[in-house]
Structure 1
Amino acid sequence: MDARAPDPRDRDLADYGEQYRKLPFEPLQAAYRRRLVLSRVRAHDPARLLEVGCAELPLFLDLPGREHVVVEPTEAFAARAREQAAGRPDVLVVPALLEDVGPGQVGGRFDLVVVSGLLHEVPDPVRLLGAARELCAPGGVVHVSVPNARSLHRLLAVAMGLAASPDEESATQRLLQQRTVYDEERLDDELRRCGLRVRERGSLLVKPFTHAQMQHLVDTGFLTTELLDGLDRLTAQLPGLGSEIWVDAEPVDA
């Protein structure tokens, strides 16, 4: 029996980057995720910020004058981030897996560590969260967001008989090498296992349909910016139905 622990290097990151660029609706989903993260940055006002995985639009583009480190394992995304950081002495881009990075390589620990839209994609999420906790300064926060297994579009698929359970693997998950979706209990358990405690939580963008269906409705003009903004604000009344859930977690003192 192969007892080897999951290795983050087992993922085909080049293929992931290519498929990510082609995914329908993901740019809009990412925009609402980004809006949420930026609101958490404003809430915490960190002196030092670590962004784990930046894809094509690093947060530092909207955060001038703040010490900012990006750790990005996908070569194409890291190269683009380095180009975008040209002339920014406050920004450091490290092309690596977070699990391979220690405080000494990035100038110490951080007031805010952002692990947004990533945990469900890695083979060993607790190892990644442990690495994030190690890089979080005392009194700091780790921000995490993940796809919600109880998202409205997943519950609708079950009600229509298209899926046996809201946890069922989707075509998008297979395409992007994503291993799972989360409910609050699963996320909280993984956070506890690596010494993190939830301080605040919420969700973003109630998404009634799949990515492909949402993109079709955008393309036909039915889903306007006003409607999408309303679906995002709806999470204030229906936090359990958002397409992604998020937490701000703090290290538990040893």
Structure 2
Amino acid sequence: MMNHEEINQPPIAEIDRLDNVASDSWYALPTGIAMIEYSYQVFRRYFPQPLNRILEIGPAEGIMTQLLINDGVKPDILEGSTIFAENLRQQFPDLQIYNSLIENFQPACFYDVIILGHILEHVDDPVLILSTIRNWLVPKTGVILAAVPNARSIHRQAAVVMGLIPHEETMSEKDIHHGHRRIYTPETFRRDFTLAGLSIEFFGGYWLKPLSDRQLEESWTPEMLRAFMKLGERYPDIAAELVIVAKKEQ
């Protein structure tokens, strides 16, 4: 059985990088909240039953954490930022919250669900991360639920056509602000799961996004945002967000 430890504390440079993001986070802006809420709607379709233990990795302000709690789920939390971790402890005093990088964490149990909501675009080596956390899953039934931004989103494609960016994988102001290290395409997203020895049970997307976050927040109603979140499920390759549900290969 695994023994939990928070070992080999992360390098100071990585702590500073994560805390720099946390000190001026944009995740709780209206479009960010709508995106996280909809990703949770997608994720919960794939919760195995019975559902005993969930690990949410990198919840930032805890928007999805609260949705889990509202559904009667008490997740464990793994958060790399010291700022986010402390805020989460104050917000959710009854939860087990670990402040550690994924690479340095050893859980005390196996999990039915591990949630990676917008994590893989941030990490240095996503295949290493996926290879690590696959061993934290309950054998056979445990699932990883992951979401990342999509380079092929139509708002990025439009920006290329307009000459605003040179190519679809160019980092936007938002990407740079949040410390993204890559922008996934559908192919590279699936590739990293395959390289990590994971079996993809579902690939999809959500949020057909024709404009930037700032433009949407200036003129769209919440109802319009929700409608276009749903429309993106019909066109995953050009949706703003990609989703994968994966299991450990047997």
TM (norm. structure 2) is 0.85
Aligned to 2:145: 143
Distance (Å, rounded) in 2 between the aligned partners of 1:59 and 1:112: 14
Aligned to 2:77: 70
Report matched runs for 1:80-159 at 5 Å. 80-86=87-93, 88=94, 91-103=95-107, 107-138=108-139, 139-159=141-161
Aligned to 2:31: 28
Contact 1:26–1:211 (CA<8 Å) still a contact in 2? no
Aligned to 2:7: none
CA deviations over 1:71-96 (Å, ceiling 9, x no partner): 0011111111112222x3xx310011
Further displaced range: 124-133 or 46-55: 124-133
Distance (Å, rounded) in 2 between the aligned partners of 1:131 and 1:93: 19
Contact 1:148–1:243 (CA<8 Å) still a contact in 2? yes
Distance (Å, rounded) in 2 between the aligned partners of 1:41 and 1:233: 15
Aligned to 1:236: 233
Distance (Å, rounded) in 1 between the aligned partners of 2:195 and 2:97: 29
* Superposition CA RMSD, Å: 2.1
Q: Of the candidates 143, 156, 167, which is equivalent to residue 165 of structure 1?
A: 167
Distance (Å, rounded) in 2 between the aligned partners of 1:206 and 1:29: 14
Distance (Å, rounded) in 2 between the aligned partners of 1:34 and 1:55: 14
Report matched runs for 1:38-77 at 5 Å. 38-45=41-48, 46-64=51-69, 65-77=72-84
Aligned to 1:3: none
Contact 1:167–1:181 (CA<8 Å) still a contact in 2? yes
Distance (Å, rounded) in 1 between the aligned partners of 2:194 and 2:149: 19
CA deviations over 1:189-248 (Å, ceiling 9, x no partner): 11111111210121121111122222332xxxxx01121111111113222221110110
Matched, 1:205 2:207: yes
Contact 1:33–1:204 (CA<8 Å) still a contact in 2? no
CA deviations over 1:25-81 (Å, ceiling 9, x no partner): 844224322332244235314311000001112534233443421000111111111
Equivalent residue letter for 2:59: C
Matched, 1:37 2:40: yes
Distance (Å, rounded) in 2 between the aligned partners of 1:108 and 1:71: 13
Contact 1:196–1:249 (CA<8 Å) still a contact in 2? yes
Equivalent residue letter for 1:68: P
Contact 1:121–1:178 (CA<8 Å) still a contact in 2? yes
Secondary structure at 1:121 match in 2: coil
Unaligned runs of 5+ in 2: 1-9
Contact 1:47–1:67 (CA<8 Å) still a contact in 2? no
